[in-house]
Amino acid sequence: MNERIKELAEQAGFLNKDEESIGYFAELIVKECEVALKPPIQVRDVISRGQAYDLIKKHFGVRE
């Protein structure tokens, strides 16, 4: 498992979860990010305009 995923899992309180569960959770998050960037928005256009970050935050309801 990727070290960054482990760090984020610890930060989120998944200390007692096995690596397979954490990996599955990370996979689900990535798939959800893909949903946030699906058409009608063209991913390469979004990234080139720097909007991917904002679209993913909006999709998950993250506020700063």
Q: Residue 9, Cβ neighbours under 10 Å: how many?
A: 19
Q: Is 27 helix (H, G, I), strand (E, B) or coil?
A: helix
pLDDT tens digits, one per residue of 17-37:
888 888 888 888 888 888 887
What pTM was estimated for this model as a whole?
0.68
- Give the number of domains in the chain: 1
Asked if 5 contacts 27 with a C-beta cutoff of 8 angstroms, the reply is: no
Range of the domain at 16: 3-60
pLDDT (0 to 100) of residue 44: 67
Confidence at 46, pLDDT banded by 50, 70, 90:
low
56 Cβ neighbours under 8 A, 6+ residues apart: 33, 36, 37, 62
